[in-house]
Amino acid sequence: MAKPTPLSGFPELLPEQRFVEQQVADTLRHTFELHGFAGIETRAVEPMDQLLRKGETSKEVYVLRRLQEDSAEGHAGIGLHFDLTVPFARYVVENAGKLEFPFRRYQIQKAWRGERPQEGRYREFTQADIDVVMKDELPFHFDVEVARVMAEALSGLPLPPLRLRVNNRKLIEGFYRGIGAADPQAVITIIDKLDKLPEEQVAALLVSDAGLSDEQAAQCLQLATITSTDTSFVERVRALGVQHELLDTGLQELSAVIDGCAAVRSDRFEVEASLSLARGLDYYTGTVFEIYMVGFEFLKSVGGGGRYDALASDGRSTYPGVGISFGISRTLVPLMSRGLLAADRKVPSAVLVALVDEEGRADSDAIATALRARGIPCEVAVSAQKFGKQIRYAERRGIPYVWFTGADGGHEVKDIRSGEQVAADPATWTPPNDDLRPQVLIKETEQ
């Protein structure tokens, strides 16, 4: 075959990069499971009518057909899912009788969108979602729980600092109602543009499209400037002098989420009440989230979510939920393509067992077996080249140790980074824990 070229929008990773992605998924999964979230996978495809329920995404859907498909077969059509929420909603309704509610689930899977590829936006991408759904009613404390679980999971990742921005729809809607806005949803939609348009333009839109007075528009923009990493935002909102019952509820809820994440906060992980955050989608009804990677704000949000009072409904029951999605490809691929993130070796092996001659292969295999029995990944040299060549073989792959057997049957292991070589017994020798598996190396960028 001629040398193939990459497909734009379908990033693939080298082994030393895939190791990082795998470790990120493992870390997330470990935290999710510690909190009682069960993992599921849904099929990659959904019926087209499910995928097209939200009209705005229709242009991005990949439609499937079998190459030899007889159109008489009458397939209504299936397509690849473009997120993990639509399939999850369908899975919940389909299996409602077999699931226990509240249903805490995580899902780490690929999704596909046919949109124009650009950095951070791919046609194939992996994301990690957590959601809690219940039947009919979902207590508010789950909003705090999903925020805390995702914050805890993300704060353990080998990434630049992340920022979880939180707001509450009730808070902003109550505020807009409190100042007399006739159509709060219109205000939300316009405020959501603050990260794309200059403030004056947003103010003009609030007047022209949401029917606000100049003063009302100014009040909305004042609210949007408020951010805090603790609950001091409450006082600042109160200082604006607006009264509404829904605003009170929203302030309480947002405070509870911010307080609930206090233990996770660090210089690697920020949690911030951010009152400009609106998230345009109209199915959010309370808490809303967005995740940003510090220094990579040009990627826009790398995750988000919120509370929705009807994820799904089957006529008899509705299933309210709250969840957050984190974009694994969206964060990792830009870091990797800049050379900022990779594992320190290309293979899992911690040890290369050298080969004296081909007749000695069984002996080298036995050493490798003894090491593996104690959880030490290793491989045996391909051929009985000169030891210098075998050491260079290990070097090229980043394997830290080479194991030698002397003519007298004695064993020695060499740390090829330091050159130190010591006598060792395959039944007991163990490398330092940090050498057992590849380590993730991240270069911090100048900011």
- Cα–Cα distance list, 96 to 44, 49, 62, 100, 322 (Å): 20, 20, 28, 8, 17
Q: Check binding of 411 to a second copy (CB under 8 A).
A: no
Taking the least distance from each CB to a second copy, the nearer of 312 and 424 is 312
Taking the least distance from each CB to a second copy, the nearer of 193 and 361 is 361
273-312 binders of a second copy (CB under 8 A): 312
Among positions 81, 104, 165, 414, the unique one binding a second copy when judged by CB under 8 A: 104
Taking the least distance from each CB to a second copy, the nearer of 236 and 346 is 346
Q: Check binding of 114 to a second copy (CB under 8 A).
A: yes
Q: Check binding of 27 to a second copy (CB under 8 A).
A: no
Q: Name, in order, each residue with C-beta under 8 angstroms of 353's C-beta and a sequence gap of 6 or more.
A: 364, 367, 368, 371, 378, 379, 380, 381, 402, 403
Q: Check binding of 431 to a second copy (CB under 8 A).
A: no
| Distance in angstroms (rounded) separating the CA atoms of residues 164 and 147 | 9
Instruction: Point out which span in 97-105, 219-227, 334-342, 401-409 binds a second copy (CB under 8 A).
Output: 97-105
Contact 164, 271 (CB under 8 A): yes
Q: Check binding of 3 to a second copy (CB under 8 A).
A: yes
Burial of 136-173, coded b for 16+ CB within 10 Å and e otherwise, reads eebebebbbbbbbbbbbbbbebbbbebbbbbbbbbbbb
Among positions 54, 84, 105, 185, the unique one binding a second copy when judged by CB under 8 A: 105
| Distance in angstroms (rounded) separating the CA atoms of residues 446 and 443 | 9
Amino acid symbol at 149: V
Smallest distance, Å, CB 338 to a second copy? 16
421-423 β-sheet, strand order: 378-380, 351-353, 401-405, 411-415, 421-423
Q: Check binding of 363 to a second copy (CB under 8 A).
A: no
The contact pattern for a second copy, residues 5-24, with x = CB under 8 A and - = no contact, is xxx--xxxxxx--xx-xx--
| Residue of 88, 61, 30 whose CA lies nearest to 324 | 88
Smallest distance, Å, CB 122 to a second copy? 10
367-406 binders of a second copy (CB under 8 A): 369, 372, 375-379, 382-383, 396-397
Q: Check binding of 45 to a second copy (CB under 8 A).
A: yes
Residue ranges in 261-360 assigned as alpha helix (H): 328-337
Taking the least distance from each CB to a second copy, the nearer of 187 and 347 is 347
